[in-house]
Structure 1
C-alpha cells in the first residue's frame, strides 16, 4: 500500500458514544455503518434465521431493513453490520443479547525471482515435497482479481478438496486454480469481484500464481513467473476499492472465507494500532485461528518510525517488508571517475555512456523552478519531489535530457523502482549528496548514465525496507513484532492489463513492480500454504513457529 492511501477514521466503543454527546456540531441523525457484536452464538441458525434475528435489532422505521443490514456474520464473529444513526445505535445497545458496538472505519491497502530468492527450486526441496501447495486453499482479502490474467490458469492444479463450499462471482473464469470469488463491498460495486485497482491481482499472483513463462516488465526482470504456492487454490474476497477498505467489509471477508473452507487467509490491509479488544479485524482473525486457519497480515508502511505497526495481535503472522537481490541497474558515472549504482525502469541503451553536462541548483534542490536556459541539453540532479515521475516531468518540461533522482533522507538505502518514460536513474540519498557536491563544486561537471538491465545477486539482501513499520508493539510490547519479513521491495507480479501501471504491450500478460508490506504478506501466505500441505495436522501456531524459527537473519 502507498502512504497516500492511508485514511483513518476515529474508532470508539459504545461508552464514547455517550460521553461524546457534548459535541454540538456532530450530526446524530446521519446514517453510518456500525459493527454490532452480540452475546449469543449464531452457530445453530441457518442463513434465513440469522438474517431475521439480526434484523430484529434494527429500528422500526420506514426504511427498508434489507438496505440497513450490511453484513451478517456467523463464522468468526457473532453479530452484524448495519447502517444506523447514533441515536439508533444507542437504542440497539439496550436490546437483550447486545454486547458491544464498533463504529466502522476505513483501512488502507497496505514474481519472477522471489521464489528462488527464498530457496524454492522446481527440481526438489520444499516446493517438490509440498507438491507446490496442491490441495491448500488460500483466501485472499483485497481489491478483487483480474480473472482473465494467464497467471491464474489451472495447468497441473487438481480440483478443489470436497470441503470447499464457496462460489464463483465471475460469469466465466473460475477453474481449478481460481475456485471462488465474492464481492463483499457493502456499497454498490457493478464490477463484482473484478479488480479495478491492481493491488489484488498483484498479491494473489504473489501468493499462488501458477507457472508462467516469458514474464517481464518491458523486458526487465524476465523469467518464469510463479507464486510461492503455484499449485494451491485461490479464493478471492473483494473488500477494498480504490485503496479503501471498510472494516465491516473486511470482517465479512474473513467470515465468508472461513465458512467457505479456506486453509490460509492473506490480508494486505491494516490501520493504526488499536487495543486488541477494540480491533475488529484481530477479533475476526482470532475466530479464524480458533478454527485452524492461518492468518497472515501486513505490518504497515509507516516506517522507519518506531511503534507504527498494524496488525499486532499475537495470533497473527505480522509481516514486514525487505529487499531482494535483484536490481534494474542504472550506473551513474561522474566526470571525476566516481561511480554509483542506481535503479531505473527506464532503460535507454542508445544513450548509455554519453558524457553530458550535469546540473544541480542547491537553492532549488527539488527542481520546482527550472527554466530551459539553465538545463536544456543537460542531466539534472534533483531530490524527489512528490514522486519520481513528477520530478522527471519537471526536468523534461524544462528541456533536460536526463535526470538523477535522489531519494529522500528518510528512505535511506531503500530505492523504489518507478517508470518515468524519460532517461532517469534513482540513487540513495547518501550517493545523491556526493553527486550534488560534485555538481556544485566542479568547474565543468559531467556525467554519464549506463543502463545495465536486470542484475541478480546484489548485496546486501535482504535488508528491511525503510518504509516497513517498526515495533515494538503498542498494545503487546512483550511480544516481538513484526514476526518475520518477506520480499516487499520492487516485486514483479501480475497486473490487470486495463489498469495503469502494467506493461500494456503484452496483451493480457501484463506485470508491474510494486513495493510495500502488502507485497511481503502474500509471500508468507504462500509459505504457510506449503507448510500446511506438508503437515496437514499442524496448527496455525505450529506453522507460525516453524516460519519464525527457520528464517534467515543474514545476507
Structure 2
C-alpha cells in the first residue's frame, strides 16, 4: 500500500478528507526540503477541522473528544491545538491513526506535517521615483510617529527577530494600541523588555522533530526574519550600509507600524504545524497584515487542503487580515509560482536601480569588463596579476569540462597559483562559493565566474576577489587571452552604482505563472524589489564580517523573501489610510495601481531581456502612493471564495465545514466547473480553454472609493493580436461614494485558429484622475494542463 508520505509527495491534491471529499533567494539554499522521509513527515499529522465557532459548544466538545481519542495511544503526543481562527490540532501519530481520524465526522482533512522553505536604503527611494501620481490630502510622513500607521500591526512569520537592531527602536512612538492581545514570550536570551512600542509581540513555536533545531526563543539566529521585518516596518535609520556599500538612510514600507513576530522557522525549514499555530495566534492577537516570506517547494504542488499557508490565510482573511506571501524562488521555470490561493496576495521579485559592481580590468590598456558581486578585494587597481582560463590548467585525469568549470580536483595547482582564474558555470551543481573554495585551495588570488543569470544578482564573497561576469564579457576576456602571451588582470573591490538602467527587471529566480492549481486565477499578483536589498541583520553573525571587521548591522539579500515585505509595508500604509477596507480591497488597490514601465519609460523586461508578462510580474511593479487612493476597487467577497471552492470540486457540505460563517441559503451551483473560477471578482482576469471558436464572457464589479461622489469612468482595452475584447458597458457612472457597478467582458477570436501560446492584455478604467488597470491572460490550455 502506498504510504501517506508517498501520496503526499506524488500528488498536489493528496490528502485525507471526510467522506472522500478533498477539501524564501539568498537563504533558500539553506532552507531546502530534506530528501529523507523523516524530513517530509516528522511523525506529526495535522488534523484540520474547519472554522472555530466559540458559540457552538457541542462542536467544541466534539473536537476535544476527538483529540483525546487520538492521544489515548501512548505513542501519540499533542504538538499544537488550533482554536482561535480555525479548529484542529497537530499530533504525532501513525498512518493508521491518521487514516482512522480522517473518516471521523467534522474532520475536513488530515495530512502530514509539511516542511516549508524560506524562500533598504535604495529600494524605497526607487519605488518613490517610479510613482507617477500625487495623492490628495497626503497623511503625515511615515517617519513621523504620530502618523495613522502607528496603530497598524504587521505580523511576521519567519525566523524570529534581533530586537536590539536600531531598526526596531520605538523612539517617539505612541503607546501600544489597546486592541493588541498578543504577548512577548520569554526565553534564555529574550525577555519581555526586548519588546517595546515598535516590537509589540514575539512568539516562538517548538519544532516537534528531534532532528530539527528547537525554537526555544523568538530571537533570530539566522537573520532572515530580522531582514524581512525591518523591510516591512523597521524604524528609519540614518547612515546605514553594508561596510560602506549601499550607504544611505534605511527605510521601510511603514516605519510607524507595529511589528509582531512569530518564529516558525529554524535553519532547516518551517514546519506546517507551527505555521498554522502562528496563524491561529495572530488572528487572536489582532494583527492587520501578515507577511510570509516562505512556502512549499514548487515541485510538490501541494493542494489547498494540505497547504498550511492556504488554510491559515483563508481564516486570517475571513477575520479581516490581509495576507502577503512570496511567490517562490524557483524561476524562471514556467508554472513554478507557489502560494497561489486567491485569498493570498502573491509577490514576485524585481531589481532596483542599484548595482553592486566588481569589475575585471584587463591588460595595459585597462579594459574594463563589468562584473557583479560584493567583495572587498585587496588587489591593486591596475592589471598586474597573471590571468588564466581554468581549462588551460587541466589536471591529468580530469576532463576539460571539469577543469573549465573549476570542479574539485580538476586543475593543476602549479599553473593556478598566484593567478586570477576564469571559470565557467557548468551544470555540475557546484556554486560560485564552491568554486571559490576550489581555486583558493590551489593558490589562486581571484576568480571570475561566467554566468548570465547570477550576473544580475550580487552575492557576498568577503575579502576574496570574486565576481560574476556575463558571457558577453567573457568573450572579450577570451579575445584578450588569445591576443597575448602574458595576460594580466585585476578584480576591483565592489562599488555601488545607482540610477542603474533599465530597472526594474524581473529577477531570474522569481517564480513564474501560470498557477499549477488553476489557470483561471492569475498568479503572481504583483512584483516588488527583491534583488540586493539592504536591511537589518543579526549582530552576532561573524560569518558575514570581512577580516578585522565587526559583524554587520545591515546585510544585502536577494529573493522573493525580500520582495514580500515591501508589499506588506505598503499594505499596512493602505490599511492605515483606509482602516475600514477589506483585505481584498487593499489587494485590489495595490494591483490596479501597479506600473508596467521601467526607469527608461519602456516596458519592464525580465532578467534575460525579454518583455515581461503577467506570468512574470502579475499586475506589474508595485507603487507606493497610488494604492492609497486607487479610485475603484475590486472586492472579492466570501461568496467568491466559496464559489472558488465549489468550482474547484468541493461540495457544499465540505465547504460548510471550512468557513466560519456561511451565508444563509448558500449552496454550490449545480453547474460547477473550473471554467467558472474566471468569474470570481478578482482584480485580474485569467481564462483557460480559449479555443478561437467560442466566446468567453466574464463579469466584474467595482466599488467607488475615490471620495468624489459623482464620477464617470471610461474603459480602454489593450488587446493582443487576433483577439477581440468587448466591454459592456463602456462607461461607468457613479453617483455616490461606495457605490458598486458591474460590467461584462466578452473575449472572442478574430479567426478560427486556436492560440498557439498564452496571450496577454489589459482593461483600464479611468476618470481622468485615476487609472484602474486589470491585466488579463488567455490560454488555450485547460486548467489541468
Q: TM-score, normalized by length of structure 1?
A: 0.87
Question: Which sits farther off after the overlay, 428-437 or 390-399?
Answer: 428-437
CA shift, 1:303, in A, is 0.7
Is the Cα contact below 8 Å between 2:541 and 2:551 reproduced in 1? Answer: no
Query: 1:38 aligned to 2:44?
Result: no
The structure, 1 or 2, with the larger RCO (C-alpha pairs under 8 Å, 6+ apart) is 1
Query: 1:83 aligned to 2:92?
Result: yes
For residue 359 of structure 2, give the secondary structure of its aligned residue in structure 1. strand
For residue 286 of structure 1, give the secondary structure of its aligned residue in structure 2. helix
Aligned mates of 2:492, 2:351 — CA distance in 1: 23
For residue 545 of structure 1, give the secondary structure of its aligned residue in structure 2. helix
After superposition, the C-alpha distances for 1:174-204 in whole angstroms (9 at most, x for unaligned) are 0000000111234383641111221111111
1:490 aligns with 532
1:281 aligns with 309
CA shift, 1:399, in A, is 2.4
Q: Quick one: structure 1 residues 231 and 31, their matched pair in 2 at CA, closer, same or farther if it must change by over 3 Å?
A: closer
Q: Which of the residues 509, 514, 517 maps onto 1:475?
A: 517
Q: Quick one: structure 1 residues 506 and 296, their matched pair in 2 at CA, closer, same or farther if it must change by over 3 Å?
A: farther
Aligned mates of 1:54, 1:120 — CA distance in 2: 56
Query: 1:406 aligned to 2:480?
Result: no
- Runs of 4+ with deviation above 6 angstroms: 15-18, 48-51, 124-127
Matches within 5 A, 1:432-471: 432-440=474-482, 442-451=484-493, 453-471=495-513
CA shift, 1:147, in A, is 1.6
After superposition, the C-alpha distances for 1:124-176 in whole angstroms (9 at most, x for unaligned) are 97684553832110000001111222221111322221110000014131000
Q: Which of the residues 358, 369, 374 maps onto 2:415?
A: 374
Query: 1:345 aligned to 2:357?
Result: no
2:235 aligns with 210
Query: 1:174 aligned to 2:199?
Result: no
1:290 aligns with 318
Aligned mates of 1:132, 1:9 — CA distance in 2: 46
Aligned mates of 1:252, 1:288 — CA distance in 2: 12
Where in structure 2 are there 5+ consecutive unaligned residues?
1-7, 21-36, 392-399, 599-785
2:248 aligns with 223
Is the Cα contact below 8 Å between 2:383 and 2:488 reproduced in 1? Answer: no
CA shift, 1:393, in A, is 2.7
Where in structure 1 are there 5+ consecutive unaligned residues?
1-7, 19-25
CA shift, 1:265, in A, is 0.1
Aligned mates of 1:302, 1:9 — CA distance in 2: 18
Q: Which of the residues 180, 184, 187 maps onto 2:205?
A: 184
Is the Cα contact below 8 Å between 1:34 and 1:101 reproduced in 2? Answer: yes
CA shift, 1:502, in A, is 4.0
Is the Cα contact below 8 Å between 1:127 and 1:530 reproduced in 2? Answer: no
For residue 505 of structure 2, give the secondary structure of its aligned residue in structure 1. coil
CA shift, 1:55, in A, is 3.1
Aligned mates of 1:307, 1:471 — CA distance in 2: 5
Matches within 5 A, 1:53-68: 53=65, 55-62=67-74, 68=77
Matched residues, number = 531
After superposition, the C-alpha distances for 1:270-300 in whole angstroms (9 at most, x for unaligned) are 1133233443321220111111111000101
For residue 478 of structure 1, give the secondary structure of its aligned residue in structure 2. coil
For residue 161 of structure 1, give the secondary structure of its aligned residue in structure 2. coil
Query: 1:551 aligned to 2:594?
Result: yes
Q: Which of the residues 140, 149, 153 maps onto 1:137?
A: 153
Aligned mates of 1:424, 1:94 — CA distance in 2: 58
Aligned mates of 1:213, 1:109 — CA distance in 2: 29
Matches within 5 A, 1:301-320: 301-320=329-348
Q: Quick one: structure 1 residues 15 and 440, their matched pair in 2 at CA, closer, same or farther if it must change by over 3 Å?
A: farther
Is the Cα contact below 8 Å between 2:205 and 2:216 reproduced in 1? Answer: no
For residue 36 of structure 1, give the secondary structure of its aligned residue in structure 2. strand
2:121 aligns with 112
Is the Cα contact below 8 Å between 1:152 and 1:177 reproduced in 2? Answer: yes
Q: Which of the residues 540, 562, 587 maps onto 1:519?
A: 562
Is the Cα contact below 8 Å between 1:185 and 1:238 reproduced in 2? Answer: no
Question: Which sits farther off after the overlay, 257-266 or 210-219?
Answer: 210-219
Q: Quick one: structure 1 residues 156 and 448, their matched pair in 2 at CA, closer, same or farther if it must change by over 3 Å?
A: same
After superposition, the C-alpha distances for 1:467-522 in whole angstroms (9 at most, x for unaligned) are 11111111121222111111111211111122354448776761222111111111
CA shift, 1:405, in A, is 2.2
2:435 aligns with 391
Aligned mates of 1:519, 1:439 — CA distance in 2: 39
CA shift, 1:348, in A, is 3.2
Aligned mates of 2:163, 2:588 — CA distance in 1: 34
CA shift, 1:535, in A, is 1.1
1:72 aligns with 81
1:262 aligns with 287
CA shift, 1:344, in A, is 3.0
For residue 118 of structure 1, give the secondary structure of its aligned residue in structure 2. helix
For residue 78 of structure 1, give the secondary structure of its aligned residue in structure 2. strand
Q: Quick one: structure 1 residues 97 and 400, their matched pair in 2 at CA, closer, same or farther if it must change by over 3 Å?
A: closer
1:4 aligns with none
Q: Quick one: structure 1 residues 500 and 200, their matched pair in 2 at CA, closer, same or farther if it must change by over 3 Å?
A: farther
Is the Cα contact below 8 Å between 1:412 and 1:429 reproduced in 2? Answer: no
Is the Cα contact below 8 Å between 1:313 and 1:476 reproduced in 2? Answer: no
Aligned mates of 1:507, 1:402 — CA distance in 2: 24
2:695 aligns with none
After superposition, the C-alpha distances for 1:427-474 in whole angstroms (9 at most, x for unaligned) are 234433443454356544333334462111111111111111111111
Aligned mates of 1:53, 1:234 — CA distance in 2: 37
Aligned mates of 1:269, 1:431 — CA distance in 2: 35
Cα RMSD over matched residues? 3.0
Aligned mates of 1:534, 1:31 — CA distance in 2: 44
Q: TM-score, normalized by length of structure 2?
A: 0.63
After superposition, the C-alpha distances for 1:70-121 in whole angstroms (9 at most, x for unaligned) are 1111233221111111112233234443332122111111122211111189
Question: Which sits farther off after the overlay, 339-348 or 251-260?
Answer: 339-348
Q: Quick one: structure 1 residues 146 and 17, their matched pair in 2 at CA, closer, same or farther if it must change by over 3 Å?
A: farther
CA shift, 1:326, in A, is 1.1
1:327 aligns with 355
For residue 207 of structure 1, give the secondary structure of its aligned residue in structure 2. helix
Q: Quick one: structure 1 residues 432 and 420, their matched pair in 2 at CA, closer, same or farther if it must change by over 3 Å?
A: farther
Q: Quick one: structure 1 residues 31 and 211, their matched pair in 2 at CA, closer, same or farther if it must change by over 3 Å?
A: closer
